[in-house]
Amino acid sequence: MDTETFDYVIVGGGTAGCVLASRLAMASDASVLMLEAGGSDLRPMVQLPIGYARLLFDRGVNWLYETEPDAGLGGRRSFWPRGKVLGGSGSINAMVYMRGLPHDFEDWRAMGNIGWGYEDVLPYFKRAEDHDNGDPRYHGRGGPIHVTDVSRDVHPICHRYLAACEALGFQATPDFNGAQGEGVGIYQINTRSGSRSSSANEHLRKARRRRNLEVRTKSLTTRLTFEGKRASGVRYLRGGIEHAVTARRQLILCGGAINTPQLLQLSGVGDGARLQAMGIQPVHDSPAVGRNLQDHLAVSYFYGSTLPTLNDQLGPFFGKVRAALRYLATRRGPLAMSVNQGGGFVRSDPAQAVPNLQLYFNPVSYTRTPLTERKLLSPDPFSAFLISFNACRPTSRGELHIVSADPAAAPAIRPNYLSTQHDLDEARAGCRLLRRIAATQPLADIITGELYPEPHVRTDDDLLEDFRQRADTVYHPTCTARMGTDPRESVVDARLRVHGLENLRIIDASVFPTVTSGNTNAPTVMVAEKGAAMLIEDMGS
C-alpha cells in the first residue's frame, strides 16, 4: 500500500485532538494530519445545547461503551457514552465548565509531575477561554472556547436549592473557577450565542482553512507502527480500505481514556504477558497502560414539587413550542442551557481538608422512563426535580484491557467502583447530605415528598445499598495512561512523552495523574493547550 508522510499525525479528533490540530497548524507550515473514527459534528442535536441527551444513545456520534458487571454496583453494568464525532465527548456532554480545584493540580505536581501545579496550568486555562465577565486574574478573554454565565436564566427553584445549602453553612461562590472554588452556586457552561462551544466548533473550524492541516473523518486507526522503539506512524481503515501514514516529527494519541490505551495495547504497548496471551507481539512492556482508571460515580434523589419545574415547561406540547420560539428569537431559555444548573463543591464534614463532594441541582426529573429512553424534552408529567452528588476524588482504581486483536472490538472496562473504605464512607456521607439539603428551608417548603429512593431507605446500610443499585457514572473516565515518573506505574512523563518509546506522545484525559474534583472537559482542554505549547517549543529546538 502507498504510504503518506506528515510532520505531525494526531490520532483522535476529540476535545484534545481538535485543540492540538489547531494550535500546531496555526503555529507553522508543518503538515498536520488528524484522524477521527467518527464523522462531522454539524448536527442540530450536537449544536443545540439541550440536545445532548438525544446523543447519549446515538450510534452515529457515540461509541456506546458498557462496562463489565461491577461488584460495587451490585453486579450491574454501567453505560459509558463516549464521543465518536469531531469534538469527541465535548460534542455530546452537558457543557458544564469546571476546571477542578487548585489542590488537584498541586497533587499532580507533588506526585513528581513538574510543571503541572496550579500556577503552572492556570495560564493554559486562561489561554483557552473567552469568558463572559470573569476576574482577569483567573480568566481569559478572546480565547477560542466561550464560557457563558447563565445565572440570570436558571430556573427559579434553583435559588431555593442554593439558599438551603447556605442555610446548612455552605458558603456561596460566584465562580467555581475563580478565587473561591469551594461553595455552592451556578455552573457556567460552554456555549456561545446559544450554541455549543466545543473545541471542534471553536478551534478546528477556523484551523481547517489552513492548507497544512488535513482532517480525515470515518478513519479508524487500527494500530501504530514502529521502527524498533520509535513510533513511525499508523495504519487506519477508511471506506473499508487500509491506509498507512508516517509521522516525520511526532505521532500524538488523543483518543481519550478508553481509545488511547486500547490502541496502545493493540499495537503491542502494554502488559507484555497479557498481550502475548492474546497473540499480540509486545513492542514495549508498559504494565500501566489501561490501569489506574478513575471515574466519578453519582446518585440522584428525586422530589415532587409544589412549584412548577422544567417538567412543566418541556413536557407539554405547547411548552415545547414556547421554549423553541424563545430560543429562535433570543438564543436563550431552557433549550440554550444544560439542566445541570446549580451545585457546588463542599466538605461532608468539617474534618475534611478540602471539598470532597460535588453537588448538582437539576430542575427536572425522569422517574417513569429507564435511562435508555430518557430525553430532556420528555420529562416526568408532574412537577419534580432532582439533587445529586459524586465524590470528588475517589480512591477506587479500575482498568481496561482489549479482549482480542480486533480493533473494532470494544475493550473490557472494569471500573472497580466502591472498592475502598474511603469511597464507601463518602457514598454514605453524600446520601445523608442530600437528605439534609432536601429537609432544609426554603427548599423543604416546596417538596411534596421523596420519589426516590423513598422514605423507608433510612439506615446507613439502606443508603449504601440504594447507592449500589442506582448510582452511575457521570462520564468522567480518566488516568488510563497516566503521567508520572515511574515507567512501571505510569505511561507518560511530564512532557507527555511515552516512557521507553520515541516520537510518541499522549495528549488527552488518559494522562491525568488523578481525576480532578469536577467535570473533566475543561482540564482536558488545558492538557491539550499545554501539550501543544510543548510541541511548538520543540519545533524551535
Residues 6+ apart with CB under 8 A from 535: 8, 20, 23, 24, 250, 252, 505
Question: What pLDDT does 376 receive?
Answer: 58
Q: What is the share, in percent, of the chain residues with pLDDT greater than 90?
A: 93
Q: Is the pLDDT of residue 370 over 80?
A: no
Cα–chain center distance at 403 = 24
Dist CA 130 CA 61 (whole Å): 26
pLDDT at 1 over 80: no
- Tell me: the pLDDT tens digits for 439-493? 999 999 999 999 999 889 999 999 999 999 999 999 999 999 999 999 999 999 9
Residue 132: pLDDT band with limits 50, 70, 90: confident
Q: What whole-number distance in Å separates Cα of residue 169 and Cα of residue 187?
A: 19
Annotation marks residue 139 as catalytic: no
Q: What is the pLDDT of residue 369?
A: 66
Q: Is the pLDDT assigned to residue 540 strictly greater than 90? A: no
Out of 203, 243, 284, 476, pick the active-site residue.
Answer: 476
Is cis: bond before 442, omega within 30 of 0? yes
Helix axes 521-539, 118-128, angle to 10 degrees: 90
Q: What is the pTM of this model?
A: 0.97
SS3 448: strand
Arithmetic mean of pLDDT, 228-242: 97
Residues in the chain, total? 541
Asked if the model's pLDDT at residue 375 lies above 90, the reply is no
**Per-residue model confidence as pLDDT tens digits over 322-340:** 999 999 999 999 999 999 9
Better pLDDT: 136 or 368? 136
**CA–CA distance, 307 with 303 (Å, rounded to integer):** 11
